[in-house]
Structure 1
Amino acid sequence: MTAPAAKPAKQDDAAAIARALYDLGPTPVIACKADPRFSYCLYVPKSLGKGGQPPELVVTMHGTGRGFTGYRDAFESFGRWNNCVILAPLFPIGVMGDGNRNGFKYMREGDVRYDHILLAMVEEVAEHYGLRFDRFALFGYSGGGHFAHRFLMLQPHKLWAASIGAPGSVTLLDPTRDWWVGTRSMAELFGSAPDIEAMRKVAVQMIVGAADLETWEITHKPGDRSWMPDANRAGTNRPERLDSLRRNFEEHGIDVRFDLVPNMPHDGLKAVSRVEDFFAEELAKRRSGAARAA
């Protein structure tokens, strides 16, 4: 029997070039298969597939300005030197056709569950690269900080670390008030109440600038889309509101590293170095534990 002909060398070369250009390093923007209204980009270490420890996943969530590629790029060196894939989702403004800038912050909008969309992206990336991400780290600043702490409440089993940066408003673990101010209606809206024991197992950082004091964008008023009673009860500005969230978490036995950064205004990119330090510390613990278990 005649042996099958080998692939032409040029075809193999083209596939290798395409992989190097589009699948490794900083990638182009990719539509999410589960719902192409949403997309993401990645940084994938070029060492992938060359042996050694499999990479971990870090998700960087944009804020209201949707600067998702900027956060991907800011964490590129971290991904390269710590063997991590960086996933930066894009949740566009107005996916329901109404111009709403804030839907993703509150986790549910029309038929969309934003935590489910992110989990679909994670699964898609893992499948494409032949990896497994049972848990990942999540960073979000400003609008992304909204998303990060509410994702932690909804999906704590999916995270090994969460860095919550300068959210304009916070949801407290409070069974006496409805979502989004509290968690009383969370089971009705999302199918489950907060699993506080699971949240205690996630490493949590909260970070905000001491000079982040403007309130024009975060003061809720009657008639606003996000208005509900007690919407402003956690504090006047971002440091006060994040400190309220810290105290609330700690009252429930959830340890928090709180970084109040001197002289820092509302600028998520300026927070990245401290977030990288936090993730690096937790990553070392995670890998050390995995090595001991092996």
Structure 2
Amino acid sequence: MYKRGKTTIFACKADPRFSYCLYVPEDLDTAGQPDLVVAVHGTARMQFQYREAFAEFGRYNNAVVLAPLFPVGVRGDDDADGYKYILEGDIRYDQVLLSMVAEVEVMLDCRFPPFLMFGFSGGGHFTHRFLILHPDKLKAVSIGAPGSVTLLDSSRDWWVGIRNLRELFGRDLDVEALRRVKVHLAVGAADVETWEIQHQVGSKRYMEGANDAGRTRIERNNSLKTSLEQHGITVMQDIVPGVAHSMHGVLPYTMRFFRGIVQPRERLAAQ
């Protein structure tokens, strides 16, 4: 009974420092092949809010929702931002997430197709960098208002660019796979505060070019859009009127985008 509906929290078997909760449709066993939606929290780690945000979508679209938790300071140093950049010391957050997906497949006795991923703010950091590294795992992504962006710039190292992808992650950029993923960018039109996103010289993740993508999240959103489109990747963008830095403010636009990707139950029943 703990593996249907809005579940309890499970430790990740591959690395119990990390955990996840799920929404699992009650009729999973009879509803056919489920989709998977991964919903990645921001810096505040409001994991349950992200699961709650997609539970109704999961119910009506035969989708399991996985909301991971990447705690602050898992290496004992109070670092709140490691997961956003995928690599933190010996931790590969992309691999942690893929381990969670594999564990859920075993738990639910199913095999997910390429999945949908949403992340807002810090989760938007993670989501677009996961897209760069693992486009083959994804059907669609909705990237919400990341404070910093990695551009497909082969003249600069990670995290500003992608020059050393193979050195750090053991893989090259797969542009053809990227072009198969449906990409959505969302940011509030009033999301213009800069105090949290400007990288200061000497700070932990400062590097040359850290602030070159723009001053605000909107400008950085636009820079990411341009970079993707220059590589032939189709991007849908919503700059949401009257919304500042709010996950719930951009969420209706993400939902609209995702509804165009999955097959709702009424369409499945008609086939």
TM-score between both structures, scaled by the size of structure 2: 0.96
What corresponds to 1:127 in structure 2? 106
Residues 44 and 79, structure 1, Cα contact 8 Å, conserved in 2: yes
SS of residue paired to 2:222: helix
> Which residue does 2:10 correspond to in 1?
30
- Does the 8 Å contact 1:59/1:136 carry over to 2? yes
- What per-residue deviation string (whole Å, max 9, x for no partner) do you get for residues 234-268 of structure 1? 00000000100001100100000000000101011
**Does the CA-based 8 Å contact 1:209-1:262 persist in structure 2?**
yes
- Please report how far the alpha carbon of residue 177 of structure 1 lies from its aligned counterpart in structure 2 after TM superposition: 0.5
Q: Any gaps of 5 or more consecutive residues in structure 1?
A: 1-18
Find the counterpart in structure 1 of residue 237 from structure 2.
Answer: 258
SS of the aligned residue for 1:235 comes to coil
Aligned: 1:138 with 2:107:
no
Aligned residue runs from structure 1 range 112-261, under 5 A: 112-261=91-240
Measure, in 2, the Cα distance between the counterparts of 1:52 and 1:26. 17
Q: Per-residue CA shift, 1:173-215, capped at 9, x if unaligned?
A: 0000010000001111111121111000000000000000000
Question: 1:199 is matched by which residue type in structure 2?
Answer: L
CA distance in 2, matches of 1:279, 1:158: 16
Q: How far apart, in 2, do the equivalents of 1:284 and 1:77 lie?
A: 14
SS at match of 2:79: coil
Letter paired with 1:61? V
Contact 2:121–2:145, Cα closer than 8 Å, also in 1: yes
CA distance in 2, matches of 1:146, 1:139: 10
**Aligned amino acid, residue 32 of structure 1:** C
Which of these two proteins has the greater Rg computed from alpha carbons?
1
**Number of the residue aligned with 1:81:** 60
Aligned pair partner of 1:69 in 43, 48, 64 = 48
Please report how far the alpha carbon of residue 134 of structure 1 lies from its aligned counterpart in structure 2 after TM superposition: 3.5
Indicate yes or no: 2:3 matched with 1:47: no
Matched residue type, 2:5 = G
Q: Per-residue displacement from partner, 1:100-139 (whole Å, max 9, x unpaired)?
A: 0000000011111000000000000011101101311000
Aligned residue number for residue 98 of structure 1: 77
Q: Which amino acid in structure 1 is aligned with residue 38 of structure 2?
A: V
After the TM superposition, list the runs of 4 or more consecutive aligned residues in structure 1 that deviate by more than 2 angstroms: none
- Aligned AA for 1:43? Y
Match of 2:66, SS?
Answer: strand
Q: Take 1:77 and 1:134, find their aligned partners in 2: how far apart are those partners?
A: 20
Tell me by how many angstroms 1:23 deviates: 1.0
Tell me whether 125-134 or 159-168 shows the greater mean CA deviation.
125-134
In the alignment, the residues of structure 2 paired with residue 234 and residue 53 of structure 1 have an alpha-carbon distance, to the nearest angstrom, of 43
Q: Secondary structure at the match of 1:134?
A: coil
- How far residue 284 of structure 1 moved from its aligned partner, in angstroms, is 3.4
Conservation of the 8 A alpha-carbon contact between 1:40 and 1:89: yes
Equivalent residue, structure 2, for 1:9: none
